[in-house]
Amino acid sequence: MTLPDLSVDLGRGLVLPNPVGLASGTAGYGFELRELIDLDRLGALFTKGTTLHPREGNPPPRVAEVRGGMLNAIGLNNPGVEHVASAYAPEFSRWSIPVVVNVAGGNVEDYLECLDRLERAEGLAGYELNISCPNIANGLDFGRDPSAAGRLVAAARARTGRHLMVKLSPNVTDIAAVARAVEEAGADSVSAVNTYVGMKIHRGIRAPVLPGRGTGGLSGPVIKPLALAAVAQVRQAVRIPVVGVGGIADAGDALEFLIAGADAVQVGTATFVNPAASLEILDGLTEIATRAGVRRLGELRGPDRPGVPPAGIEPASTG
Ligand SMILES: Cc1cc2nc3c(=O)[nH]c(=O)nc-3n(C[C@H](O)[C@H](O)[C@H](O)COP(=O)(O)O)c2cc1C
């Protein structure tokens, strides 16, 4: 029996050996996880959000468990771009897993300076721009404002020939509008979605568990149906590849994202439950594809028209 070709060409030189990546912020820069699992079997590592200057992040408590998932308010704890470029990138170039650096900033200049520094480093497969960051100029997340997101991506596009993925925020009224804006501005692909704004209340102290505004980013199985809907919407809005992320805990979940229109997936919170979750998802997907007798991963998707359910599956009505 010949094994199916699971590779995914995301464009501009970024070819993933398989569709299962590790989501930003849930595997750091790979060093700890590498001690536990065979990282090089995976499709890609999306690093922790990297900023111009090192950040300690928020004081604890900065994570909280909720039914079906978790909330986090880490606050972009990272060693800063200089360290990533000079100390980590040389290590990445010895790994066979493609490493995509997730980049965050408070204004366009921050992002661009980060990119300029990373451009001088070898061993990087591309960038994932985290646009769920408050824009210092107007207080709004870049990801909530299609024109601000478009301007940021156009400026980033001008700085790099490497693959440029944009991580979409789900905390918007019209995610398709943001996806279209970043595609027009030159993004090579989009990943969807980042965490949803959520809150956990401590009944004893009659206050939110997380400090500050009390809110955090909700992730894990609880967001899967929301993330699937977002991926399907984005798929219909753009022609560039879409990477699905949100609550994927097993191979069946990953398959659902492919059917919804994703070209590849990222596994996040599931890694906290089981460090080998991503590998098990990859093995499960390989088995599904082999049993289905497909030659290429794309055939698992079913419908020719991306995002459109196959015949026989009625779109659910709401209400
Ligand atoms: C602890 C934690 C830290 C995260 N940090 C980042 C980050 O730095 N940049 C980013 O783009 N997304 C970050 N995310 C979002 C994840 O990459 C992912 O989009 C989200 O958690 C949904 O996927 P999941 O349900 O599989 O975890 C973080 C998520 C968690 C749980």
Question: Is the shortest distance between the CB of 102 and ligand 1 below 6 Å?
Answer: yes
> What is the predicted pLDDT for the residue at 73?
95
State yes or no: pLDDT of 137 exceeds 80. Answer: no
**pLDDT of 36 above 70:** yes
For residues 96-124, give the mean pLDDT: 97
- pLDDT for res 243: 98
Class level of CATH domain 8-57+76-197+215-301: alpha beta
Residue with the smallest CA separation from ligand 1 atom 23 is 246
Pocket test for ligand 1, best of 195, 267, 273 (most atoms within 8 A of CB): 195
Give the count of alpha carbons within 13 A of 147, CB side only. 1
318: how many CB neighbours lie within 10 A of its CB? 4
Contact partners, residue 159, CB within 8 Å, separation at least 6: 112, 115, 116, 119
Domain boundaries, the chain: 8-57+76-197+215-301
CA angle 8, 10, 13 (to 5 degrees): 105
| Strand partners of residue 134 | 141
Ligand 1 mean position to 218 CA, how many Å?
9
CA 101, 148, 179: angle at the middle one, nearest 5?
65
User: Which tens digit of pLDDT belongs to each residue from 54-77?
Assistant: 999 999 999 999 999 999 999 999
Among 76, 88, 80, which Cα is nearest to 45's?
Answer: 88
- What does the alpha-carbon distance between residue 25 and residue 29 come to, in Å, rounded to a whole number? 8
Provide the pLDDT for residue 309: 47
- What confidence tens digit (pLDDT) does each residue in 255-273 have? 999 999 999 999 999 999 9
Q: Burial of 173 by CB count in 10 Å (0-12 exposed, 13-18 middle, 19+ buried)?
A: exposed
> Ligand 1 pocket, 231 CB below 6 A?
no
Residue in 24, 165, 169, 243 to alter for ligand 1 test, most ligand atoms within 8 A of Cβ: 24
Active site residues: 133
pLDDT score of 222 more than 70: yes
